[in-house]
A and B are shown apart, each in its own frame.
Chain A
């Protein structure tokens, strides 16, 4: 007990402990569920690093997605794109990632040019189509202030996502972090403005419906990344609606590099 506790405070401690002491806890179920969720998070952060933010937005839960990076990402990028992109080899994470910590790093923040509520409307200007809200569980227009702005929705019936997420470090560090632990590194294409473009494809294994997933991420030099994703189904547990997602990685590159967001 800490010194600044009074006898009254001790009674409160006793109340809390006694009240919760005999609460039934199914530890095995908790741990099992945690590991399942944790694996999904881990895979999103590693195997699906390139498209992790977009996967999160789309609510696909990239538990078993495998990465197949495009060989020539960034060569035909959009209005804000570079004419002569340069490939950057993923390097080990930044030194900050090697320092042991005892508390979580504060979330990254950035000044986003758009808010979550604008994302779907702007996307529709780039790709006119029928917009519907995705299933309630994953259908989100989420405004997390300076940490994240995201929207997931159905575009012509296919699950689609756009997000702006703040990150720590430089674009190169972020690129390396996204590739850290991935089975196959995704090419990070550096652009003249200092940003880095990544894009790729995933496909879930047959037991998870073989859903295909395309995505692109622009890691800006301003401390945030723009992600866009397109899937071949209407949701994680929905059947494939087509052999391929309606938007290719190249088209998604055009989305994330578009000036429409600014």
Chain B
């Protein structure tokens, strides 16, 4: 395969990032619970993908999956660094009045509900029900067993189902 120039690589990356940024942001918003942290997580994720993209032997077969995995692990890594004084992505802040992503009642309720879940449970829910991945795919992204994903999924779902029913009722009225 001919070696791509830096400009070509950058253009390819930019096209990829433009296509994927919104979906990554939606996942990040559900994980982080705030616009600013979500934005930071997505930028950090895409920056890591970019750095990999530009490496001489860094060809990525499935950039979307790679980006999603990177986002997941960056988020969980932020949680693990909590004790080091780094700003953890999983710390859902108090409601910010100027958070442009906080809008509807349902959205606020979902954010509050997700904030009560362990970070890994949040990841499972987002990958399963927003990204529509299978249990095995979620396990792969998170680097844990399929059994662990099922357990977390069941536990977390119990918390969210009620809100799902309520939100649908609200919309039907």
- A residues adjacent to B (C-beta < 8 A): 1-2, 4, 8-9, 11-25, 27-31, 33-42, 45-46, 93, 97-98, 100-104, 106, 116, 140-144, 180-181
Contact = CB atoms under 8 A, between A and B. Distances in A.
Interface in B97-120: 100-101, 103-104, 106-107, 110
B90 interface: no
Contacts of A37: 43-44, 46-47, 50
Nearest to A17: B130
B79 interface: no
Interface of B: 10, 13-14, 17-18, 21-22, 25-26, 29-30, 39, 42-62, 65-66, 69-70, 73, 81, 83-86, 100-101, 103-104, 106-107, 110, 125-126, 128-130, 132-135, 140-141, 143, 157, 160-161, 163-165, 167-168, 171
Contacts of B66: 101-104
Given A31-B46, A38-B51, 13 more contacts: A11-B164, A13-B132, A19-B106, A20-B29, A31-B21, A34-B21, A38-B49, A42-B54, A46-B54, A46-B55, A101-B66, A102-B61, A144-B81
A4 B135 contact: yes
B84 A2 contact: no
A45 B55 contact: yes
A181 B55 contact: yes
B164 A15 contact: yes
Nearest to B104: A19
Nearest to B168: A11
A16 B30 contact: yes
Contact of A14 (B43, B50, B168): B168
B168 A103 contact: no
A12 B161 contact: yes
Contacts of B56: 93, 180-181
Contact of A2 (B25, B61, B132, B141): B132
Nearest to A94: B57
13 contacts: A2-B133, A9-B157, A20-B26, A23-B25, A23-B26, A23-B101, A24-B101, A31-B21, A38-B13, A38-B48, A46-B55, A140-B86, A180-B57
A40 B50 CA distance: 10
A254 to B, nearest CB: 28
Nearest to A99: B57
A103 B161 CA distance: 31
A157 to B, nearest CB: 22
B84 A144 contact: yes
A160 to B, nearest CB: 18
Given A15-B164, A104-B69, A33 B62 contact: no
Contacts of B44: 37
Per CB-CB distance, the 8 closest pairs between chain A and chain B, nearest first, are A38-B50, A34-B46, A37-B47, A41-B51, A20-B26, A38-B47, A11-B164, A15-B164
Contacts of B164: 8, 11-12, 14-15
A20 B107 CA distance: 8
B160 A34 contact: no
Nearest to B161: A8
Contacts of A22: 103
Nearest to B14: A31
Given A14-B168, A103-B140, A30 B161 contact: no
B29 A23 contact: yes
B48 A41 contact: yes
Contacts of B168: 11, 14-15
B154 to A, nearest CB: 11
A97 B52 CA distance: 11
B50 A15 contact: no
B103 A142 contact: no
Contacts of B30: 16, 19-20
